[in-house]
Amino acid sequence: MKSKFNGLTSKQVKVLREKYGLNELVKQEKPSPFKKFIGIFKEPMFLLLVITATLYFILGEPKEAFIMLVFVVAVASITFIQEWKTETSMNALKDLTSPKVNVLRDGKEVVIKSCELVPGDIIFLSEGERIPADCLVLEASNFCVDESILTGESEHVIKLSKEECEESQDHWKKYVLYAGTLAIFGKCTGKVKLTGVETEYGKIGKAISETKEESTPLQKKIGILVKNLAIAAVVLCSLVVVASYIYNRDILKSLLSGISLAMAVIPEEFPVVLTVFLSMGAYRLAKKNTLMRKVSAVETLGSTTILCVDKTGTITQNKMKVKNIYANGKVINSKDMDDKHISDLFVLSCEREPYDPMEKAIVEIGCLNSNIKDLYTYELSGKIAFNSKTKRMANIYTKENRYYVAAKGSPETIIPICNLNNDEVKELEKIIDDMAAKGLRVLAFADTLSDDINEELDEYSLQFRGLVGLQDPPKDGIKEAINTCKKAGIRVVMITGDYSKTAMAIGEEIGLEFANKSITGDNINEMEDSELCKAVNNCDVFSRVIPEHKMKIVKALKKNGEIVAMTGDGVNDAPALKNADIGIAMGKSGTQVAREAAHMILMDDNFTTIVNSVEDGRRVFDNIRKAIVYIMIVHIPIAAIALFAPIFNLPQLLLPMHIMFLELIIDPTCSIVFEGEEAEPHIMEQPPRSPSESLLTKGLTRKVLLQGTTMFLGSFLPFHLLVDSGYGVEYSRSFALVALIVANVTLVLVNRSNTKYLSSAFKEKGNKIRGIVNGIAVGILLCIVYIPFLQSLFKTQGLEFNMLVIAAAIGFSSTAWWEIIKVIKNRKTSF
């Protein structure tokens, strides 16, 4: 449909963009790749590397110094690429979740990001949207705005065009829309007047921008762990420097030994792992119709114990169909409806261009016996808008010099204001219960002729005309998804505005645990907070609720210690979404305000997608834990070797360049290989993880110590034995390095899964990067041991084939033994 307003052309937009810039209240600088790369060198690890290279130059070993600097650049590049890729992923997510606006450009109505608006743009606004800039009202249809964020006044403001407004000296004009304010209802066409910092919102220093992320519990735990290990590194480094100096009286070599230990102990991979895993987890979820507005929500997803979901559109298809009609004293099938008067009432009680699926279904049935064109010739003289508290509405038409009132609403709000006696009411209640027990949503219809237009529906003398039972069937796969939640220890709670028996019937059909009773909004109003906390423990169906009841339900569940995920789509759902541990906004039907308040946005409004997202959240946390366990394990042999070599008066097994070689293996392994691992087969058959659970449980700590110790023994003892037997240091070092690297490769394959065995790794096709990284590690190891130039740099010597096989076998055995533990654990689980 062609607009009567003239929007800007692309050329005009380009000129205005250059003049006014983007519509941003906070100017955000694009990150500089160079600055980001240089910033990496502030990390302690890289400072240690530079110091080490300097010491090599002082010792007169420029080759070693050069190779250290090469390692510095290599590790810095890996870190930079990982962080840059992560930031790119997050910028892509921000683009997806940034506010959008309908605008007239080049004569067509298009959707753009609100930051792209320029003065002069024609925009179209509707209920639930944030006003993106200061605009002049061109045309408004019952458009009401909440300006309290600017004015402090709680009363909503009806907006009009300048021609419709009286002259006023007030600062806040009725014909101006102000950036940051909220559209409550109605529609409006506006012309952008001011953008960015020039708006009233910008002038008073407010800013609409991404909320700064606070450290998550997981980030705090990792921060504490890194801090403690850094302190340990300083202490041990000092001890090694002192012990080494006592033996060799060479301060420079003693410093090299101490630095080697410090490099071995500091787990600089931890922060990178957390950032990469959470960000890539959010990016993977985005590809599956789930946008994470806050990356930290990926972590919380895995702890969810309660899913509070809307019935309509989330659990059900939101495709209404009239199944039964009660009229003229009998219940009939919708196809058998032949009463024209009631058919007219069906059509006239609905909007003329209905967008609600329920009204569409009612109008469709009404049109079977009525001529819709004739009915729409009646003049609409008034309207009693639907109210979430009264749950009823009416359209008022001029008919035969009187006013015809066509009303509909929930039976409990329509029947009491109709001319019915007690017996008739009881009979209707029985019919309503019978319809609701079949899972039908029931609406009551009434009408009357009046000489006057009244403000409230109960001021009319209404005549009851009939009931309509509408069916909104559950979506495919809902029952299976709820069964998956049950196995995962997650309770599903259904919240709806429907009649209680209708809600209970749907609840039983989809398999909710406590669907045999329902708590209504009226019940919630009568309950004390403590009573509601008890009641929510054994009820999964909440009916006849309004948005403010949702907030109470969320708070009661959280007081009981539950981790609550909550769905919502309307303006009034925003407080409940904000207060839930995971607020989930509907991407299709949700308002912009709901999306802004939520932690994640469901792009397909599908319950199954929520369940899949929970599984992904669990996978992300599980893989973070695997990566951290891996880092802790591999740092034990590296640190222990650096510590025990001077204690036993042995030559250095691992020089700084060897440690850097190991870091080149560890970095991509922990942050790329483990991130890409598939979820464990049983991950949705375990109870939710407690948020207070420590990062390293007692079981995992034992695993770290045991595997780390055997890796250390598998490389250090052969080195010790070979040196004592008269073999050269270079030869012994090569043997130990082969054992250590093979042990590392085997460790990755063993620890990639807690249930799958080592043999299955060679059959899987999913994680190709695992094979690539491990293959590169083994390839570089062989080069270091057998290529003469690299031998001189890494102080190694070639091994005979049989010694190479023995070293590889020792390395393999030092970590593969954990497979026996897996077999024992899996057998215990199966019994």
State yes or no: pLDDT of 61 exceeds 70: no
Tens-place pLDDT, residues 378-398:
999 988 888 767 889 999 999
User: Cα–Cα distance between 191 and 709 in angstroms, integer?
Assistant: 70
Which pair of tokens denotes residue 511?
């398999």
User: 656 or 433: which carries more pLDDT confidence?
Assistant: 433
Mean pLDDT of 303-329: 87
Closest-CA residue to 557 (of 538, 543, 572): 538
Distance CA 675, CA 772 (A): 15
Q: Which residues pair with 443 in a beta bridge?
A: 468
| H or E segment to which residue 124 belongs | strand 122-126
Domain 1-206 has CATH 3.40.50.300: no
Residue 237's alpha-carbon distances to 54, 56, 188, 265, 759, in angstroms, are 18, 18, 69, 9, 40
pLDDT at 64: 61
Q: For the domain with range 226-285+613-677+695-830, which CATH number is right: 1.20.1110.10, 1.20.1260.10, 1.10.490.10, 2.40.50.140?
A: 1.20.1110.10
% of the chain at pLDDT higher than 90? 35
What is d(CA 518, CA 540) in angstroms, rounded to the nearest whole number?
Answer: 7
Q: Work out the pLDDT band at 526, boundaries 50, 70, 90.
A: very high
pLDDT at 291: 81
The answer, yes or no, to whether residue 472 has pLDDT greater than 90, is: no
pLDDT digits (tens, 9 = 90+) for 725-740: 999 999 999 999 999 9
User: Which of 339 and 294 is assigned the larger pLDDT?
Assistant: 339
User: Is the pLDDT reported for residue 422 higher than 90?
Assistant: yes
- Indicate the DSSP class of residue 209: -
Q: Token digits for 532?
A: 């509601």
Structure tokens at 395: 């359209």
DSSP state at residue 417: G
Q: How big is the CA angle at 120 (ends 114 and 124), to the nearest 5 degrees?
A: 55
Q: Taking a C-beta distance cutoff of 8 angstroms, is the pair 217, 581 a contact?
A: no
Which amino acid is present at 634?
Answer: V
CA distance 47 to 690: 38
Which residues are within 8 A (CB) of 86 and not within 5 positions of it... i.e. 6 or more apart? Answer: 275, 276, 279, 280
Please tell me what DSSP assigns to residue 800. P
Residues paired with residue 571 on neighbouring β-strands, in sequence order:
none
| Residue 321 amino acid letter | K
Q: Return the pLDDT at 121.
A: 95
pLDDT at 798: 94
d(CA 803, CA 624): 37
- Look at residue 630 and give its three-state secondary structure: helix
Angstrom distances, CA of residue 258 to CA of 234, 261, 262, 653, 729: 9, 5, 6, 13, 19
If you ran DSSP here, which 8-state letter would residue 115 be given?
G
d(CA 489, CA 484): 9
Q: Which of 754, 769, 785 is nearest to 667 (CA)?
A: 769
Given a cut of 60, whether residue 40 has pLDDT beyond it is no
- Residue 91 or 727, more confident: 727
Q: What is the rounded average pLDDT of the residues 411-437?
A: 93
Is the model's pLDDT at 217 over the cut of 70? no
Closest CA to 615 of 563, 681, 554: 681
Two tokens at 330?
């009998």
Q: What are 624's two structure tokens?
A: 């973070």
- Using an 8 Å Cβ cutoff, are 150 and 93 in contact? no
Per-residue tokens: 137: 């009202």
The whole-number pLDDT of residue 210 equals 41
* DSSP assigned state of 316: B
User: pLDDT tens for residues 253-311?
Assistant: 677 666 666 666 666 667 667 777 777 777 788 888 888 877 677 778 888 999 998 88
* CATH superfamily assigned to domain 321-471: Calcium-transporting ATPase, cytoplasmic domain N (3.40.1110.10)
Q: What is the pLDDT of residue 427?
A: 94
Residue 3 has pLDDT above 70, yes or no: no
Cα–Cα distance, 98 to 23 (Å, whole number): 12
pLDDT of residue 485: 92
pLDDT computed for residue 831 by the predictor = 44
Inform me whether the pLDDT recorded for 576 exceeds 70: yes
CA distance 303 to 330: 51
Residue 465 pLDDT class (50, 70, 90 cuts)? very high
pLDDT of 542 reads 93
Tokens found for residue 611: 């369940």
State pLDDT tens for residues 433-459.
999 988 899 999 999 999 999 988 989
Is 426 within 8 Å of 438 (Cβ atoms)? Answer: no
Average pLDDT over residues 414-433: 94
Supply the pLDDT for residue 211: 39
The sign of the dihedral angle between the CA atoms of 202, 208, 210, 211 is: positive
**Degrees, nearest 5: CA angle 475-565-293:** 100
The mean per-residue pLDDT over the stretch 527-531 comes to: 93
d(CA 453, CA 423): 31
Total residue count of the chain as it appears in this document? 831
Return the C-alpha torsion angle 283, 285, 291, 297, nearest 10: -90
Distance of alpha carbon 268 from its chain centroid, rounded? 27
- CA dihedral 155→159→162→166, nearest 10 degrees, is -40
- Average predicted confidence (pLDDT) for the chain: 82
* CA distance from start to end of the chain: 68
Instruction: Show the DSSP H helices in 654-767 as ranges.
Output: 656-668, 698-724, 729-751
Q: Which residue has the tokens 């042990």?
A: 743
Domain-wise residue ranges, the chain: 1-206, 226-285+613-677+695-830, 290-317+475-605, 321-471
State the pLDDT at residue 768: 73
Residue in the block written with tokens 């008067």: 341
- Over the Cα atoms of the chain, what is R_g? 35
For strands 600-602 and 582-586, give the pairing.
parallel
631 band by pLDDT with thresholds 50, 70 and 90: confident
Identify the residue whose tokens are 């669907």. 515
pLDDT at site 570: 67
CATH class of 290-317+475-605: alpha beta
pLDDT digits (tens, 9 = 90+) for 190-199: 999 999 888 8
| CB neighbour list of residue 596: distance below 8 Å, 6 or more residues apart | 99, 130, 293, 574
- β 519-520/541-543 pair status: parallel
pLDDT-wise least confident of 118-122, 185-189, 726-730? 185-189
